[in-house]
Amino acid sequence: MSDNIDPKELKILSDILALVLDEQAGQAVNALEAVRNRARRNAVTAGALKNLFVAIAPNPPRARATRTRAASGATARETQDSRQRILTLTEDLRRLDLDLRTSRARVEQLRTELHLTQAARAEIQTQLANARAMNRPLRMSVIWLACLVGLLLGIAGTQFVHTLLDAPPVDKSIYLH
């Protein structure tokens, strides 16, 4: 029976039992609940659990001694694959970290450029407002002068037209004599 015991399950069971024997009541109660839930989930009875402890006590299972050579080779391949994956993930992490730093530097550069552009815009707006304020009296004077000249030209043009078209009426009284 000890050949079929999973070392991970044995480790979990020993951790739970250590918590049960712990002096703190809350952890012990939680550990006992975990044992009950695991037993229900795996359909393990109390007698089967007792037999498990009886089988483990005289000869505890060894994690690596019972493995076959093929399992050992598979484990070596898995270990190599895991190491390669870790190296790949580490390299990806380094590359992503470098990309992040580069992006942050670019964002900071763009932020500085934005502030400089906003300052230049504010300065140009101030200069434009000052230029408009300086031109306003001159512009108003030109508008008033244009209105006055237009009025005078209108009056003069009207008089000229009336002079040409409106001939004074001939005195007809001379024909009566």
Q: Is residue 72 packed enough to be buried (19+ CB in 10 Å), middle (13-18) or exposed (0-12)?
A: exposed
**Regarding predicted confidence, which is higher, 171 or 103?**
103
Domain assignment present for 23: yes
Q: Which domain holds residue 41?
A: 2-66
pTM of the model: 0.35
Q: Does residue 85 belong to any structural domain of this protein?
A: no
Domain count of the chain? 1
| Whole-number pLDDT of residue 65 | 47
pLDDT at 64: 47
Q: What is the pLDDT of residues 36-88, one digit of tens each?
A: 787 777 777 777 777 776 676 665 555 544 445 555 667 888 888 888 999 99
113 domain residue, yes or no: no
Residue 82 lies in a domain: no
Q: Is residue 99 part of a domain?
A: no
**Is residue 5 a contact partner of residue 61, using CB atoms and an 8 Å limit?**
yes
pLDDT at 134: 81
pLDDT score for 68:
53
Determine, yes or no, domain membership for 35. yes
* Overall average pLDDT of the 86-97 stretch: 92
User: Could you report the per-residue pLDDT of 118-173, keeping only the tens digit for each?
Assistant: 999 999 999 999 888 887 888 888 899 999 999 999 999 999 988 888 777 778 88
